[in-house]
Structure 1
Amino acid sequence: MDISRAGTEPLLVKFYRQYMQQINDVTYPPGTLLVNQDVQDILYKYFFDASQNKYLPAARYQARILKHIIREIEKSCKDPEEDQVSDHLMEHMAHLSTIPQQPDTDEAQQLHVHSYFPPLPLDASGVKPVLINEAQNLLSKGNNVGLRTWEAALHLAWYLTTQRPDLVKSRNVLELGAGTGFLSLLCAGHLGASHVLATDGLGHVCEALESNVDLNKSNDTLYGHVPPQVRQLDWTDRPEIDQLLDDTKQAGRQYDLIIGADITYHPDILRPLAELLSMLKDAFPQTSILISATIRSNTFADFVAICRDDLNFKVTELPCKIPQGLQYCGCFHSVATEIKIVSLER
């Protein structure tokens, strides 16, 4: 569903992109816009009509958003004969109220398809989202960390899309700790990479990643480009790493870009990760390496120190400022906790 083709206000398009990503702090359009009957028809068609959109958010999320919309419309009604909430919206609200609610802890474990729109202008037509089936509110720990999309991946997506798409277009990309596959799918589809290899160390995460690749293939969100390949890669398994390098050589391929997002969270994996990056840089001397991390503890600083002091990498922090207002048009994420992107060069 391409809401931009409805010829509506940019603020409504941004609201739609936020809603389909299912973020908590959406930017609601003003009631003076929502009270318009044509706008309400668009809202129902694109936001709530399951016959038009098969990947609508969960019922509880829909209900929260629609309740606010109805309240804003009612506050903006000046002429009771002309201004009113549409029958479609009221009937859908009544339907949502009949659906039994699960406990919060149970619902947090439920998988739903989230639509991540790249940060392209709000009046651009034909913009396709990256579809990720995940439990976005999962309280991740241990083996679950790869089963939701994290802020650092969205931050790096913003950077690559708006500042350095040249690093990806028609190039070979390797992602470490790919998790849900969001970044790999963005690189393969919207950013037009020649080849993308998405790797993760856990078998069940790779299975979920494969499912997300299939989801995007079946919904034609890759703009006709080659979908990512998926491979399990344990950073401590030297034979496995050697096999990857050998397979890459046999294919006559060089990786031009190596990326990783939120992969420096655990102290035990910092040195294996840094040493793997060193081996990859030796194998592909011209490659660019970008690591994005949300700064929650000292582990990122420890990772940087290992790369710089022990492995002779030059570590450079890259500027990435998320804009305000309508310029913030996709890959929505919180920057309340600091997120850094660094390049590793040698």
Structure 2
Amino acid sequence: MERIARQLRQRVPVIQIELIQNVDQDLILKVLKEIEPQNAYYCKMFLEKLVLFLEEKGEEVNDDLYEHLSDLLQAVPLNATDTEVISYCVSCKSGNRDMDLKVREAPNVISGLGTTGLRTWEASLYLTQYLLNSDHCDLTDATVLELGCGTGLVGMALYKYHPTVKKICITDGDSQLIENLPSNLQLNEIPIGSPKISISKLSWGEDELPDPNIDTIVAADVTYDSSILDDLVSVIYESMTQNNRGSTLVRNAYIAATVRNETTLEELEKLLNLGVQDRIWKWTIMEPMRFDGIWYPQSTPEIRIYRIFKV
């Protein structure tokens, strides 16, 4: 039942309530009360669906559920740009327990104010799990640059839960997102002044990399628009061929791409092949991994992780 608790904190859609088995009504009510200050309307909708689900199955419904549903009847939906704190559960091969990351985001926003970074996308969660668990992602003593960080999930997870990462440099090209990041760090008890983490605005093709010792690049869902692919690949190209202020060259890049448009990814692969022709790097699509207990919406497309590694 702890699985449904994790899914509730991540806002599993109420339409998927029929997937719940062996309902622990007390646990569900406890978690909904945690969520209520952030999104009372979600709690109301979930309770309505849960009560109907239990009644149709002929199961007895706790009086506490009816009572709490009555208390929530006046709850109204959040505005599209309203934020709430979402909790994501991640696992790490170096530990024996699941770990939560909290993110303040606007989960109903697909694109707003010129950015798609106001919500956490599934590719960020998938890349986080991959980097924490795959034996094929060696981040031992690595200084990692995250491109297009959005809500900062990947960078925060590496800081908190990867045992051997030396430093994580979180960047995005959107000033508003950079301004939002300190509050997410505070939610996860990450000291903003820590020498192990930095936050900076990085415009691809314009700004220098924020640290001369970066040897690994990570990014999630930065391939949604073919118009930005040239700049993305150029950043990787330059980082693997030009000493940044006379120091380290990047050796590996891991790019998580959601397959929404095959044509866009074909364009990405053409650009990557130019680096192969120039004998700068090779690239591969990593073997997919399954992460039990991690919830993704049923409509989530395939997510690929491209590894680009310097020759």
The offset of 1:307, in angstroms, is 2.3
Contact 2:146 2:218 in 1 (8 A): yes
Contact 1:157 1:183 in 2 (8 A): yes
| Total equivalences in the alignment | 296
TM-aligned CA distance change 1:268 to 1:75, over 3 Å: closer
Whichever structure has more helix as a proportion of its residues is: 1
Q: Name the SS of the counterpart of 1:303 in structure 2.
A: helix
Show the counterpart of 1:61.
Answer: 42
RMSD of aligned alpha carbons: 3.0
Which among 16, 41, 50 is matched to residue 26 of structure 2?
A: 41
Show the counterpart of 1:143.
Answer: 114
Contact 2:214 2:249 in 1 (8 A): no
> Which structure 2 segments of 5+ residues have no match?
none
Show the counterpart of 2:264.
Answer: 299
Deviations 1:69-93 (A, max 9, x none): 2233334556xxxxx3223222111
CA distance in structure 1 between the aligned counterparts of 2:196 and 2:64, rounded to whole angstroms: 38
Q: Name the SS of the counterpart of 2:42 in structure 1.
A: helix
Contact 2:148 2:172 in 1 (8 A): yes
The offset of 1:178, in angstroms, is 0.4
In the alignment, structure 1 residue 255 sits paired with structure 2 residue 255? no
TM-score by length of 1: 0.75
1:1-346 equivalence runs, <5 A: 12-24=1-13, 25=16, 28-30=19-21, 33-34=22-23, 39-45=24-30, 47-49=31-33, 53=34, 58-77=39-58, 84-99=60-75, 101-102=76-77, 107-119=79-91, 125=97, 127-140=98-111, 143-164=114-135, 167-168=138-139, 170-192=141-163, 193-217=165-189, 228-237=197-206, 240-241=207-208, 244=209, 248-249=211-212, 254-282=213-241, 283=243, 284-285=248-249, 287-297=251-261, 298-310=263-275, 312=279, 313-322=281-290, 328-330=292-294, 332-334=296-298, 336-346=300-310
CA distance in structure 2 between the aligned counterparts of 1:304 and 1:142, rounded to whole angstroms: 30
Contact 1:169 1:191 in 2 (8 A): no
CA distance in structure 2 between the aligned counterparts of 1:166 and 1:59, rounded to whole angstroms: 40
Deviations 1:228-258 (A, max 9, x none): 3210000021xx21xx36xx33xxxx33421
Instruction: Give 1:86's aligned amino acid.
Output: N
The offset of 1:61, in angstroms, is 1.5
TM-aligned CA distance change 1:338 to 1:128, over 3 Å: closer
Contact 1:48 1:92 in 2 (8 A): no
> Which structure 1 segments of 5+ residues have no match?
1-11, 79-83
Q: Name the SS of the counterpart of 1:314 in structure 2.
A: strand
Contact 1:174 1:199 in 2 (8 A): yes
Instruction: Give 1:115's aligned amino acid.
Output: S
The offset of 1:333, in angstroms, is 4.6
Q: Name the SS of the counterpart of 1:180 in structure 2.
A: coil
Q: Name the SS of the counterpart of 1:136 in structure 2.
A: coil
Q: Name the SS of the counterpart of 1:322 in structure 2.
A: coil
Q: Name the SS of the counterpart of 1:234 in structure 2.
A: coil
CA distance in structure 2 between the aligned counterparts of 1:275 and 1:150, rounded to whole angstroms: 24
TM-score by length of 2: 0.83
Show the counterpart of 1:9.
Answer: none
Contact 1:18 1:26 in 2 (8 A): no
TM-aligned CA distance change 1:307 to 1:136, over 3 Å: same
The offset of 1:119, in angstroms, is 3.8
TM-aligned CA distance change 1:57 to 1:162, over 3 Å: farther
TM-aligned CA distance change 1:172 to 1:137, over 3 Å: same
**What percent identity do the matched residue pairs reach?**
25
Q: Name the SS of the counterpart of 1:146 in structure 2.
A: coil
Deviations 1:36-88 (A, max 9, x none): xxx3333322x123xxx37765122212222232233334556xxxxx32232
Question: Higher relative contact order by CA 8 Å / sep ≥ 6: 1 or 2?
Answer: 1
